[in-house]
Amino acid sequence: MSSPLRPRPRFDRRTLRADLRTLLIDSTAALMVTAVIFVILYRRIDHGTSATLEVMPYLADARTYWLYWACQAFGWSAMLWAWITVMLGLSRSTRPVSRSPLSHARMEHWHRVASITTIGLMFAHALAFFLELLRQNEDGLSWGRLVWSAFVDVFVPGGYATGTGQVAILLGLIALYLAIPLSLSFYLRAWTGSRLWRVLHRFVILVYVLSVWHTLLYGTNVWFDGWFRTIVWGLQLPVALLFLARLLAPLRREERLTRADLGGGVGPLSRLGGRLSVAAGVVVILLVTVSGRDGGRTPGQESGDMLVTQPMVWGGLAVVLTVMGAVALAVRSGGERVSRGGRIEPESRVRQGPLGPASGRDDSEHPL
């Protein structure tokens, strides 16, 4: 008589351990890149060639404000690692091409590892800003009030209440706080159900969009229009093209859209609308990159009123969270097949390899 299948652990420790072993390599590389960026930023300030000095001339003393430049360096390395993470995730969930240098299993492994590194870099970016506010103590507050004030400004969404930062920092914090559950929930998919995790993880693309928006809105290195800001825009073109390819040629068969599907109601039409929207986004990014009209400010001219305000951001977040909740309820009510013992049946029974779940098959769990 065959023994019953052992229940699958609700927390995937095996995959996490494999990812953490690689994380040491990835995080070391990220810190080295951050150090190089810091040196470049520091030297540009010392030589008076940084565009930041046109925005905040008092930062000319690089030694005094080294924490600010550490904040900037962590921000740029986080943006780079987020770019890498999204590219790996989109490549992983797109129908494979012949002679790919990386297998889908290895792409998925590095995507997970780079996601953890990105979250760490984002937190370090915020922490360096927090420490800089403590160092400055512009209002001469007592230690307790100073720590609380800096904490609210840096880590509480909507807490920063002046200038462009009241929107830009809010966007960055929303990106950080969404990234944590949407990325790390992979290791809890046996508890949530793989189908629910797949659907919710797709919203992680919003984290990347918010991060880029935060950078273009608040990065003093790209404050003004010019070649560097245009390059940042141009780097979004491969992401948009790969995102479009992922929608047009998804790895999972049930996600593919055919002409016959279009007569099936609102669902297929909304999926078609999503593909058309991404295609339009590709055109916009291409036009911005080619024309150089990248939305940057003009040196010496007053900036106009912000087109986006905090209430608009909060409203948009409410819509996103409502959609996520509705999707989660729809998936759960649709009957995710999870046994009482915590074993998923049969959708997510995947083979385990040295890098975690083997993922060379069409029924892989990876959604992005």
In a domain? residue 150: yes
pLDDT (average), residues 139-150 = 93
Phi, psi of 48 (to 5 degrees): 70, 25
Tell me the residue range of the domain where 212 lies: 13-222+337-357
Residue type for position 159: G
Would residue 44 count as lying in a domain?
yes
Which pLDDT score, from 0 to 100, does residue 194 have?
Answer: 82
Q: Is residue 61 part of a domain?
A: yes
Q: Note whether residue 287 is domain-resident.
A: no
Q: Is 156 helix (H, G, I), strand (E, B) or coil?
A: coil
Asked whether residue 108 is domain-assigned, the answer is yes
Q: Is the pLDDT of residue 227 over 50?
A: yes
If one counts every other C-beta atom within 10 angstroms of the C-beta of residue 270, the result is: 9
Q: Could you tell me which residues come within 8 angstroms of residue 278 by beta carbon, excluding any fewer than 6 positions away?
A: 240, 243, 244, 247
Asked whether residue 47 is assigned to any structural domain, the reply reads yes
**Is 317 inside a domain boundary?**
no
pLDDT confidence tier of residue 98, bands split at 50, 70 and 90: low
Q: Does residue 46 sit within a domain?
A: yes
Residue 289 host element (H or E): helix 266-291
Domain count for the chain: 1
Average pLDDT, the chain: 83
Q: List, for residues 28-46, the tens digit of each pLDDT value.
A: 999 999 999 999 999 998 8
**What is the b/e burial string over 6-40, where b = at least 16 CB atoms within 10 angstroms of the residue's CB?**
eebeeebeebbebbeebbeebbeebbebbeebbee
